[in-house]
Amino acid sequence: MYMYGLLDLSLGGYILATFILTQITIAAVTLYLHRCQAHKAIDLHPIVSHFFRLWLWLTTGQNTKAWAAIHRKHHARCETEDDPHSPQVLGLGKVMREGAELYQKEAVNEETLRKYGHGTPNDWIENTLYTPYNYLGIAIMFVVDLLLFGVPGITIWAIQMVWIPFWAAGVINGVGHYYGYRNFECPDAATNILPLGLFIGGEELHNNHHTFGTSAKFSVKWYEFDIGWGYLKVLGWLKLAKVNRVAPKLVREDSRQHIDMATLTAIVNNRYQVLAQYSRDVVKPIWKAERAKAEAAMADLLKRARRGLFRDERLLKGVDKERLQKALAENEMLRKVQEFRERLQQLWQNASLSRDELVAALRKWCEEAEATGIRVLQDFARSLRGVVPQAA
């Protein structure tokens, strides 16, 4: 009993217990700290919120205000010198090895807390227990694990303690801004690490999240699985959570071909989906066709320039930028579709034009795209005419 604790589980039982305990921790991080506190994408029942606060105190010693403030600053200053943990600035190795230390350093930055920490708990228990005695909770968790699981409880406790520093502070903040696939060309380097994740609560769909920061749901493709969204649906069914917003959807009416203010508004609101469709339906087939008919040297250049063609130009560095410029200089078709993409982006980047001028610019863009004779570009322009605002 003393060796194996009050529960005296089998090896499989200890593994299952560890998995359940770490899932509760990641659920607390992704639902309470991230989607609820940092982004206000959901509302949680007070009982659920306080359970998660207590659990995080026991397993991480994390302060809600500091976590939310650091994460908001990360979004606001992403991939700049002011980003608390950008691997693009600090290097992937540093963020992976020292992710928790980077959080601790920023957590004592009073300017960060003051500017970005608004709307987080400021009650008696936060100010008199959770914040000043953050390591007490971790010590209590150690005693509880030891009593319940005996000597194996020490290993379980250690895994609980490293779970968030490794997966969240290291993998998500590091790999999630360095390697992976991108559904959308958001203005930072965020990537989706895997379409399926059971260990980090849906946080692995980081490109989706950075594109739609206030969405309660992180998955957007049919093959992507956000387990945090699954937990949230269960809490919603129990009337313990409410979703405030999710990512907008691109809606079309094929019979609608008149471009007006509603068309412009719908396109701007869904600009990342529009650009993703442009890359998929225009740039990609043109790139494949041009490469297929090119001579060996040009085909090799187009192959090497692929990354630049599909990545936001602001994120391109060194050799990728050079390859793109060379490919565009030597291929008129790709240069043309690239120019049309840049002009389309200017519709939501140009703050100097009035709404009426932007509508006129959109009409002109569609008319000129349809006049190019490039079938895929013509089809895309016609599809834009049918974009309508999403129903409430």
What confidence tens digit (pLDDT) does each residue in 309-320 have? 988 887 888 888
By the 8 A CB rule, do 217 and 226 touch? Answer: yes
Q: Is the pLDDT of residue 196 over 80?
A: no
pLDDT tens digits along 70-118: 999 999 999 999 999 999 999 999 999 999 999 999 999 999 999 999 9
Q: How confident is the model at residue 2 (pLDDT cuts 50, 70, 90)?
A: low
Given this model, what pLDDT does residue 193 score?
92
Q: HSE of 99 in the Cβ direction (CA atoms, 13 Å)? A: 24
Residue type, 178: Y
| Nearest-angstrom CA–CA distance, 173 and 84 | 10
For range 156-183, the mean pLDDT: 93
For range 243-257, the mean pLDDT: 90
Given this model, what pLDDT does residue 350 score?
83
Tokens 């936001």 belong to 312
What is the β-pairing status of strands 251-252 and 42-44?
unpaired
Output the average pLDDT for the chain: 93
| Nearest-angstrom CA–CA distance, 216 and 246 | 5
**292-331 burial: b if 16+ Cβ within 10 Å, else e:** eebeeeeeebbebbbebbbbeeebbeeebeebbeebbeeb
The pTM assigned to this predicted structure is 0.93
Q: Could you tell me which residue, 182 or 194, shows the higher pLDDT?
A: 182
